[in-house]
Structure 1
Amino acid sequence: MTHGPPRRDPPHRGIELKAWMLYLGLCLALALAITWELVTSREQDMEAARQRTHATSVLVSEWLYSAFETSGAVLSSMAGEIHPEELPRAEEDLAAHGRIHQWLDRHLQLLPNARAIALFDREGVMTHTSNSPHQVGYDISDQDHFQALRDTPDLERQVSRAFWSSEAGGFLVAHAQALRDAEGRFAGVLGVRLDLSFFDHWLERTEPTPGSSLTILDGEERLLARRPQDTVPGFEARLGQPVEVSQLAPLLLGEEDTLHFTIVSPVDGMQRIFTAQRVRDLPFLVVTGEAYQTLLAAWWQKLWTLTLTWLVIAGLGLLVLRGYLRTLRYDRELLRSHRSLEEANQTLSQEIHERQEAERAIKSSEERFRALFDNSLSGVAVHDIILNDQGEPCDYVFTMANPAFESHTGMKVADVLGRRATHIYPVPELPGLIRRFGEVALTGRAIAFEQHLESMGEYYSVGAFQIGPGSFAAVIDNITARRQAEDEIKTLAFYDSLTQLPNRRLLIERLEATVQACRRDHHHGALLFIDLDNFKILNDTLGHDQGDRLLMQAARRISGCVHEADTVARLGGDEFVVMLRKLSQGVQEATQQVEIVADKILAALNHPYYLGGREHHSTASVGITLFHRDPVSVDELMKRADLAMYQAKAAGRNTHRLFDPGMQASVTARAALESDLRRALAEDQFLLHYQALVDDNGQLTGAEALLRWQHPERGLVPPGEFITLAEDTGLILPLGQWALETACSQLARWAQDPTLKHLKIAANVSARQFRHSDFVAGVLRALANSGADPHRLKLEITESLLLEDVEEVIEKMRQLRARGVSFALDDFGTGYSSLSYLKRLPLDDVKIDQSFVRDVLVDPNDAAIARTIVALADTLGLRVIAEGVETREHWEWLSRHGCHTHQGYYFGRPGPVASIQEALAKWTFPSHRGARPVPVNPGPDIGNHPGSR
């Protein structure tokens, strides 16, 4: 009987097809899950890099902006002191030229990163410079920044692009200020020159990561600075050369402020992700990059790990499928009755051999899988999902976990295997995770996400995919360090590091938004400027660490006085700012609301502070300004609040003041007077007047030197209008030294005249001048340079000098007394000094204040005070000088009661030095003390005039 070819069994063919479809479906699902994880992870890494580079570029650009704001403020201040039409050239007046050179040098010290400060005339030729004089004559008329300032009347300052300077031997950047003459016409340029090392100073403040770069370019893409430099061959030669990057065009054209792009760096040939930030109002770009290779190193490792995992799983599945199909074929062969027993035995033997091979292959694959599984850098765990009675996921069990799982989660592998998730970490986020993982295990849909376990304080990157019905694998990476780094960058850029309050930058952003909102919604807003009173004393006495503790406590107290929607910021030092939103629409109601908040803040800051186990008290001064619909800039609001705060300090501190326009006018007038005062010092507008000192015998013994200001427009300005301002600004130090040197020079000239060589000069010394560390050396220097006799110089001090550090005062007086200089205590009786200190001072004279002398003939109280002062001085062995002597009767009464020297309008008004020569001709010199003093031709100025100075 003949048999035909064997027929395939249709049911077996269908089973094979289904098996293959199931296998391919699982492989495809796993591949899609891995692809999704890789794509998501790569995009997250790229976005994190863009955020980091953006934060760094913004930070460096703000540093650059602040640096040029500082140099711009210095240039503006200097320009206010310059009259271009009055500037002398070296060939015209060498002495004046030298003073301008020294003036530029002093201001250069305010800008430690600057190379030089120079003046250029309207033709662009350098006329004065802080560097060596051989640079005078250098021409910048072909420079763009000079032409822009010359041709644009409204342009006050300009920052140049990088340009080559043959004088400096390198590339420079100039920050220039236009100078205007009296009619407002262009009269030249005041410029600060910066070499490219200036920009390195700001880059060195950052900490670059491996492979990252930080570059500063100017508006023509010239390379100004870069970090790191050692990766660029011939870096010094490339400075100032253009770096052509087409992606920067929108920034250069002003169309964008920030750009993100990925290119191969034209500087060192390394591919990076870059963020370019335009520095506002300046022709510079800050370009920050992170190395593409370094950034994606972890991603590539994850790619190979997941790919190998997929290949292992696919290989295992293929081996299982092959074994299964072979089993089907084997069973099918047994059913074929027409096969001979020999063929059956051969087939069976072959199948057994193949099974053994398959088992060996499976074992080998398992070993490779285990090696890959155990050595993965990401934590990998395999779980079985648990369903409740309703068929919903309620928990999952750990069936496998690799060693990296322990390093990422902190849980030992042995402690989690076979246990439920709810027993291992019952965190509030777990129910949500169970639902998401259950969907993966039951539907096969892979997921990838980041999870913050707030209760554990950790951030994780999680990817999950199904590996079988009801089972899934989770790939876990602990990204807490990365998230903390990102948060730290954000905090550094927008928050104060000590108090964690918003800094100036974040405050300005919020204030701009609030001003717009108030204009739109017709609500009032308010700005409160808070300055802690006498905070420097706390730092000096208890130390900066205790000062920082007080600042942190003050920040918490201020924050507790406002609503959550309001803003409390720290500007720096002991200055805080509070911004209030959505006050009432009516100005009276809004004013009452903000004053209530200010009172709460003052009350909170008045409570005791406990620092280092000790109680400390502090107060504050608060300045307030409101804003509504008026178009007022943010800078103007800050200035108004600051002015109001200073008004609160002037009112005695521990109070608040509301801004009014009169404050601005007062500050403007004071600033104008200060500017005039500085110009007066530079232009020698000061002079000394002298008032005669006469003894009780009518003999001229000397004169008091009195400071006067010959203003070119206002004429003679009395000291009462400018001495206090000079004290506040510190100008009293050079002014007082000038007065000392001038008085000593006059003494030296009198010493050459036989009729005047016996005269002394009394010079007033302010408390601030006396306390200066260089005071004693300055007096001795004035005496040595002029050649004046120290015994002819008398220094007049006031009782205010004795309010602090009396021992230092006594020591300085003894040093000068040892060299022959004498001392008089001025305005005696009007101050608050202790008599116990008075007896220790090495004094020669005391001066009775004119307020007691004026009515000594008619007021018994003034007469009693004058007699008491004379008696006290006589007891202490001191001579008495009476000032304010208006009439002959004053002189006679004071002489009878023991005054030794007299000063006042009766003997002559203060005047130029020639008035002392005239005084010699007005008085006779009796031969005995008992003679009555008689003036010779006293003249029309001698009469009853108020005051002696």
Structure 2
Amino acid sequence: MNQGPSPSNGLPPRISLKAWAAYLGLCLVLALAITWDLTTSREKEMAAAQQRTHATSILVSEWLYAAFETSGALLRSMAGEIRPESLASEDNDPEAHARTNQWLDRHLQLLPHAHAIALFDREGVMTHTSRAARGVGHDISDQAHFQALRDDPSLERQVSQAFFSSEANGFLVAHAQALRDANGRFAGLLGVRLDLGFFDHWLERTELTRGSSLTILDHEGRLLARRPRDTVPDFDAQLGQPVEAGALRPLLHQATDTVHFSIVSPVDGVHRSYTAQLVRDLPFLVVVGEAKQTLMAAWWQKLWTLGIAWLTVAGLGLLVLRGYLSTVRYDTQLHHSHRSLKQANQALSEEIAARKRTETDLRRSEEKYRFLVENSYDILYLFSPDGHIEFVSPSWKTLMGHDPQSVVGRHFSEFVHPEDLPICHQAFSHVMRHGHHAQDIEYRVRHQDGSWRWHNSSALPSRDETGQIVGFQGIARDITARKQAEDEIKTLAFFDPLTQLPNRRLLAQHLQEAVQHCHQGHHHGALLFIDLDNFKILNDTLGHDQGDLLLMQAARRISGCVHESDTVARLGGDEFVVMLRRLSHHPHEATQQAEIVADKILATLNHPYLLDGQEHHSTASVGITLFHRELMSADELMKRADLAMYQAKAAGRNTQRLFDPGMQASVTARAALEADLRRALAEGQFVLHYQALVDDDGTLTGAEALLRWQHPQRGLVPPGEFIALAEDTGLILPIGQWVLEAACAQLAEWARDPRLKHLKLAANVSARQFRHPEFVPGVLRALNTTGADPRRLKLEITESLLVEDVEDVISKMRQLRARGISFALDDFGTGYSSLSYLKQLPLDDVKIDQSFVRDVLTDPNDAAIARTIVALAGTLGLRVIAEGVETREHWEWLSRHGCHTHQGYYFGRPGPVVAMLESLPKRPAPMRRAHPSGPG
């Protein structure tokens, strides 16, 4: 039986097996722990990179959105000043054409990065440009943005994707505004043309880390701008060209707003982690990438550090194990043979040599660790259990400005912002109590220059040889740039860039919270909608820069009228909103409180403004609405305050009005009537009724065409209920044109009947219709289309037409008079009367208003007015027509005093043409001829 050691190694097998098992187990556990930590660190590095690229992509996309909002506002303002119908007349007027080009040049200066501003007609041909000598006649009818604005009446503006322009010899992007004529039809477009340098400007505002990239593409994947440029060979040749963008397909198809991916860049061949972000409402996307080599540098440093540490521990363990085994082997062999002793001496010599090699390896690993610590960009730190600094890496000097040795021994709270101390104490206490890894925390640290820097830190417990926790250690990273980007994104998203007031989005959040608080607390709140009066005139006369100065001063004045707990916001343009919180429980007192604030705002806005050393005066109109226990949406409250503001405008401006339900009902009814009017025009619900004109013998000499609306539910609607609304909305233009065309068609039909071809037909023309540039062409078009005799058409105008631009009125009347059309002045004596203008007008008739005719038999004043009108008309060589003749006595009195054409219920009420003609045999018998018998 074998009672000695194993001849192979001189040790009992059981001892050798247990020792090696313990050693390998320790190495395995340590390797698993390091692997888990490295995996977790890698995920955090990738998540942090994704967060940084996402923040930068949102920031740049918001910059682009804001830039196009600015150019959109300018386009909208310019479009309001353009009359498309007048531009066509400039073809034969070089001076007018040059003035329009100069006007475009002045506006181009407001967009310093724009290539040009141009006007295009409805066929897509450039007619005017801010660079007058270049590009006129250029055709864009094949471009998608032109076709979209032409084919979609609801589309107001469009931003194009990049396209090659032969006129500019390069790629451009267009921001275009549709132009509509008075009837809402497409009449061309106004476009700002931007070269790709516009996008490059926004990339210059960002600071990129080494190896990072920032790219702007359009929805076709074309390269518009990139930073850096020097890493891309022949970069200028690649601008405007599509790039390989397989990972961007979800964005290009607009299936999502954001996508994260990691690829080797097809532009410069660098492997990066990317975030791509769609720019809202625009055909562009922003792609931000961080080089894998750069963002993983710290991770690789950690990998080397932990790997060397693992090798060191494994080597030391192996040394200890082999020392232990050699000792056992020595004792065992000492008891058996001299040869075993010699072998033990030899083994000991080998172990000494191995120990020296291990010590050399350990020293080298320490040198590598020291190199990593001294050259790491992040701060490595070691704190005592009570929070005093025992060690910080040299990067503290780079990031914080202090000498690392000068802070050793000081408490970390000396450098942390007071507001952030609780979260730091909580995290470090958790490490000390539980010995667990602390969650990442973010806090501010004071720099040597007094500024505050943001850090992200993660801590681990520090233990001695016995396993007791003797402090904590960790890594801190500077995240100030990321925090600044987040703050700037928040500012862009929730604050107005000009006045720094909350914008519409933030106001809606505050308003919804205030409504909830009022509902729960049973008190009132108020919303004040403020609109500066005549602000557009200031912008047009002094320029947008002066308008901006006034807006900033107005914002400060309004903010000074309310408490800090209230909210002042700017919606855009010259519109501000004030939200008042915690007003009285009683409605009457709450109303008084809101009105006091409104009066205070009106008073302070009435004070003169100093704009570049010049005084300017401005007023405002304020609409007020209260909210209490009733839960309402922010949109509904804004709508109510807006309605009240328009009531203040209608009351003469520089005043306030409180919302009441009657306003809403009036607006709703008006909107419904306007919708019905538009439907009536589209569905042909309008009809003409006719009222006869007769002479002294009762003979039919003509008729007046009177507009009626055959409503499908309400029946026949008289013009008094809808003409005013048609005037306000501009619908009077297409309605008036329809009346002219229907009247001319009736004249053409009468011309084919020998009994009726001598009749004249009068049609009323509104002042707005007459002043429209297309009025004269519209009348001639109606005559030409129907073939009516212009000598049988009479146009009736009112004295209100003579209030302004009488020369233009006379010019248009003479143009039509030359074609044979006659004119009558309706309701004479009730409005603006000027004999100097009256004698210049090419009139044929004047009509005595029925308000004078009605009482000529009983009121001496009306009788005198009627005789005066007849005498005046006779002096000017005009025929007189009397309206409102209701009895035979009226008829005879008027005829006796020189009025020989009559119209009124005595001869028939207005009705369809068939009814008027059927009454021809029933005309009253001719009156007996008599000489005037005195003043009557």
TM-score band by shorter chain is: 0.5 to 0.7
Of residues 921-930 and 557-566 in structure 1, the stretch that sits farther from structure 2 once superposed is 921-930
Paired amino acid for 1:232: E
Paired amino acid for 1:715: G
Query: Are 2:242 and 1:230 equivalent residues in the alignment?
Result: yes
8 Å contact 2:454–2:480 — kept in the other structure?
no
8 Å contact 1:459–1:479 — kept in the other structure?
no
Aligned to 2:737: 737
Aligned-pair CA distance for 1:551: 3.3
Aligned to 1:794: 794
Aligned-pair CA distance for 1:578: 1.2
Query: Are 2:892 and 1:853 equivalent residues in the alignment?
Result: no
Aligned to 2:605: 605
Aligned-pair CA distance for 1:739: 0.7
8 Å contact 2:221–2:243 — kept in the other structure?
no
Aligned-pair CA distance for 1:763: 0.8
Change (3 A) 1:710 1:483: same
Q: Distance in 2 between matches of 1:444 and 1:713?
A: 82
8 Å contact 2:624–2:645 — kept in the other structure?
yes
Aligned to 2:55: 51
Query: 2:213 is matched with which residue: 211, 214, 228?
Result: 211
Q: So what's the TM-score if we normalise by structure 1?
A: 0.56
Q: Distance in 2 between matches of 1:879 and 1:724?
A: 30
Q: Distance in 2 between matches of 1:240 and 1:298?
A: 27
Query: Superposition pairs for residues 389-468 of structure 1, below 5 Å?
Result: 438-440=406-408
Aligned-pair CA distance for 1:291: 0.5
8 Å contact 2:691–2:705 — kept in the other structure?
yes
Give the match's secondary structure for 2:626: strand
Q: So what's the TM-score if we normalise by structure 2?
A: 0.57
Q: Distance in 2 between matches of 1:551 and 1:576?
A: 10
Give the match's secondary structure for 2:508: helix
Query: Are 2:569 and 1:582 equivalent residues in the alignment?
Result: no
8 Å contact 2:707–2:739 — kept in the other structure?
yes
Query: Superposition pairs for residues 243-322 of structure 1, below 5 Å?
Result: 263-264=261-262, 271-272=272-273, 274=275, 290-293=288-291
Q: Distance in 2 between matches of 1:896 and 1:446?
A: 110
Change (3 A) 1:672 1:614: same
Deviation string, structure 1 residues 501-548 (Cα, Å, up to 9, x no partner): 222111112212222222233332111122233444444555545444
Aligned to 1:897: 897
| Identity among equivalent pairs (%) | 63
Change (3 A) 1:608 1:849: farther
Change (3 A) 1:661 1:703: same
Give the match's secondary structure for 1:688: strand
Query: Are 2:660 and 1:668 equivalent residues in the alignment?
Result: no
Deviation string, structure 1 residues 307-361 (Cα, Å, up to 9, x no partner): 9xxxxxxxxxxxxxxxxxxxxxxxxxxxxxxxxxxxxxxxxxxxxxxxxxxxxxx
Paired amino acid for 1:903: Q
Q: Distance in 1 between matches of 2:924 and 2:731?
A: 42
Q: Distance in 2 between matches of 1:672 and 1:913?
A: 31
Deviation string, structure 1 residues 402-435 (Cα, Å, up to 9, x no partner): xx99xx9xxxxxxxxxxxxxxxxxxxxxxx9889
Aligned-pair CA distance for 1:480: 9.8
Aligned to 2:625: 625
Aligned to 1:168: none
Aligned to 1:108: 152
Paired amino acid for 1:804: E
Change (3 A) 1:234 1:487: closer
Q: Distance in 2 between matches of 1:106 and 1:726?
A: 26
How many residues get paired?
Answer: 629
8 Å contact 1:691–1:705 — kept in the other structure?
yes
Change (3 A) 1:745 1:542: farther
Query: Are 2:717 and 1:717 equivalent residues in the alignment?
Result: yes
Q: Distance in 1 between matches of 2:200 and 2:706?
A: 52
Change (3 A) 1:664 1:791: same
Give the match's secondary structure for 2:291: helix
Q: Distance in 2 between matches of 1:446 and 1:299?
A: 32
Of residues 918-927 and 847-856 in structure 1, the stretch that sits farther from structure 2 once superposed is 918-927
8 Å contact 1:726–1:732 — kept in the other structure?
yes
Change (3 A) 1:802 1:601: farther
RMSD of aligned Cα (Å): 5.6
Give the match's secondary structure for 1:710: strand
Q: Distance in 2 between matches of 1:653 and 1:574?
A: 14
Q: Distance in 2 between matches of 1:39 and 1:233?
A: 25
Aligned-pair CA distance for 1:740: 0.7
Deviation string, structure 1 residues 727-780 (Cα, Å, up to 9, x no partner): 122211111111110001111111111111111111111122122221111111
Change (3 A) 1:514 1:767: same
Q: Distance in 1 between matches of 2:791 and 2:644?
A: 50
Q: Distance in 2 between matches of 1:436 and 1:568?
A: 47
Of residues 781-790 and 443-452 in structure 1, the stretch that sits farther from structure 2 once superposed is 443-452
Q: Distance in 1 between matches of 2:796 and 2:263?
A: 71
Paired amino acid for 2:765: V
Query: Superposition pairs for residues 500-515 of structure 1, below 5 Å?
Result: 500-515=500-515
Q: Distance in 2 between matches of 1:481 and 1:877?
A: 86
Q: Distance in 1 between matches of 2:615 and 2:811?
A: 35
Q: Distance in 2 between matches of 1:235 and 1:740?
A: 62
8 Å contact 1:58–1:277 — kept in the other structure?
no
8 Å contact 2:854–2:884 — kept in the other structure?
yes
Deviation string, structure 1 residues 664-713 (Cα, Å, up to 9, x no partner): 22222222222221111111111000111223453322111100011111
Query: Superposition pairs for residues 22-101 of structure 1, below 5 Å?
Result: 48-54=52-58
Aligned-pair CA distance for 1:909: 0.7
Aligned-pair CA distance for 1:884: 1.2
Change (3 A) 1:791 1:537: farther
Aligned-pair CA distance for 1:112: 5.7
Q: Distance in 2 between matches of 1:734 and 1:764?
A: 14
Paired amino acid for 1:668: T
Deviation string, structure 1 residues 559-618 (Cα, Å, up to 9, x no partner): 222222222222223322111112122222211111111111222233344567765544
Q: Distance in 2 between matches of 1:686 and 1:592?
A: 49
Change (3 A) 1:818 1:278: closer
Q: Distance in 1 between matches of 2:747 and 2:286?
A: 67
Paired amino acid for 1:812: K
Aligned to 2:822: 822
Paired amino acid for 1:794: K
Change (3 A) 1:778 1:478: farther
Q: Distance in 1 between matches of 2:701 and 2:251?
A: 71
Paired amino acid for 1:709: W
Aligned to 1:687: 687
Q: Distance in 1 between matches of 2:585 and 2:503?
A: 28
Q: Distance in 1 between matches of 2:604 and 2:541?
A: 23
Q: Distance in 1 between matches of 2:413 and 2:627?
A: 56
8 Å contact 2:454–2:483 — kept in the other structure?
no
Q: Distance in 1 between matches of 2:888 and 2:716?
A: 29
Query: Are 2:869 and 1:869 equivalent residues in the alignment?
Result: yes
Q: Distance in 2 between matches of 1:723 and 1:107?
A: 31
8 Å contact 2:697–2:925 — kept in the other structure?
yes
Aligned to 2:906: 906
Aligned to 2:776: 776
Structure 1 unpaired stretches of 5+: 1-37, 66-103, 116-200, 217-222, 249-257, 308-364, 381-392, 394-399, 409-431, 464-476, 933-949
Aligned to 1:531: 531
Aligned to 1:568: 568
